[in-house]
Chains A and B, each alone.
Chain A
Amino acid sequence: MTFLEDTRDIFKNIGLHFRTGVSYMLPILLIGGFFGSVAVIGKDSDAEIWEMFKNIGEIGLKYFVPIMAAYVSFSIADTPGIAPGFIVGILAQQTDSGYLGALFGGIFVGYATFMVLKIKLPEIIQSTWGMIAPVFSTLIVAFLIVFVIGPPLANLMTAIGNMLHSLGSKGNAVLGAIMGVFGGVDYGGPFSKTQSTFATAVMDLKSYIPLGITAAFVTVPPLGLCLATFFKPKLYTKTERKYAKSSWVYTLVAGFTEIAIPLAANDIIRCTVATILGCVVTGVIAGFFALELYTPVLGIPQWFFFNKPLVYWGSLSVGVITTALSVNFLKSISNRNIEELEKQEESI
């Protein structure tokens, strides 16, 4: 039964398909967010150019959803999946089921296209089938989106939107704490990506605080661990100190969490406890003061797009210092043998 095997294969790799969609979605959000933020500068001016910026921004912030659906479908059914995915994505958006609707729509339409294309037909029709198959899959999934799974998803999206918008500063602080745990726990791995995807997904609901929170703590782990090596160099090996010296600048410029990995790799548990603490602290502060970011960018470009730059720098520094102090404290009460580690490094 290849049918069952294919089905199992597709749904076993659901994470891969979803990540592919997100991967193609991010650049759209980036362009849209960039122009949208630039347009804010000229909001009191009548010059047409600001209108153009605003339009580009709105296009980007609107169509990232169908692009994601299109490429989730592409990941499942290859090139024939793109068009049905795109259409189903827009349909989901227009019927208010938004990001979630587009995600499920993309998965289902990719799956349907893949399966419909597999149908064996007489040779003479087979060649045209490639053109007709996506029409069928679109039809099936469009019904599903509009009449079956759409309405409950639309309700769910409205509920999430209302909840996010009515959180208030305490609620946002709690949200920041939860996101901080996810962001600090695995240095840009699946958990971090889950929370950053959540933050970009809710941009579809015009909620920008989660992205602000994510952006505030994204550099906390690498900066915190670097700073820690300057506070108490004795607790670190030569290679670690050298890496820290060169990497903090890179962190500020490029701004992603993965840079911390070499510093944490040799002592993963203590470092992770410290980075979670730092990220939670930053997340709570950023959430409490309603830090918003409209563009999913990293590094230097980020600095210009926060609605409250002071909150950003404040929350970042508190989080970084928390991480640095706690990791040094944890290392100082441990029996980590630096001399032996350095010997090992030399032998490599």
Chain B
Amino acid sequence: MKIALITACLAGLAHSKMAAVAMEKEAKRRKHEIVIEEQGGHKIPVKLTQAQIDEADVIIVAKAVSIAGKDRLNGKKVLEVNINRVLRDVKGTMDKAEKLFKQG
């Protein structure tokens, strides 16, 4: 399964990075492909290209603030979760994403 992960937190310093690292590790363990975009106040913007988003089977949005560029995700399977919940329960989040993928 191909995952595109977008994380967003208030200052773009800690939570967005921590969630990204944790999810990347979990994705690798389960042999999923993952691309990551981090957002937040002071973040250097690293944007996923439209092609990367189109390719992804599931998009996970882990957020504490509203993300920029919502319109890029139109028509995709999007799993929206609170970023704190992601940090507390990485496995559960990944389970949810897999379930969403299997729903067909």
Contact = CB atoms under 8 A, between A and B. Distances in A.
Interface of A: 16-17, 19-20, 22-27, 30, 74-75, 78, 188-189, 193, 254, 256, 258-259, 298
Where chain A touches its partner, the secondary structure class is helix
Interface in B51-72: 63-66, 70-71
B64 to A, nearest CB: 6
Query: Which 10 pairs show the lowest CB-CB distances between chains A and B?
Result: A258-B14, A75-B66, A20-B65, A26-B41, A23-B41, A20-B66, A23-B65, A19-B65, A23-B10, A19-B10
Contact of B64 (A16, A25, A27, A258): A16
16 contacts: A16-B64, A16-B65, A23-B8, A23-B11, A26-B10, A26-B42, A27-B41, A27-B42, A30-B42, A75-B66, A188-B15, A189-B84, A256-B11, A258-B13, A259-B14, A298-B13
Contacts, number: 49
Interface in B1-25: 8-15, 18
A144 B42 CA distance: 33
Q: Which bracket fits the contact residues of B?
A: 10 to 19
Contact of A19 (B14, B18, B64): B64
B85 to A, nearest CB: 13
A298 B11 CA distance: 11
Contacts of B10: 19, 22-23, 26, 193
Contacts of A74: 66
B18 A24 contact: no
A23 B12 CA distance: 8
A30 B41 CA distance: 10
A74 B69 CA distance: 11
A235 B17 CA distance: 29
B65 A75 contact: yes
Q: Which of B10, B63, B71 has the most CB of A within 10 A?
A: B10
Contacts of A259: 14
Contacts of A27: 41-42
A211 to B, nearest CB: 14
A298 B65 CA distance: 20
Q: Which of A20, A30, A78 has the most CB of B within 10 A?
A: A20
Contacts of B9: 23
Given A27-B42, A193-B10, A258 B66 contact: no
Contacts of B40: 23
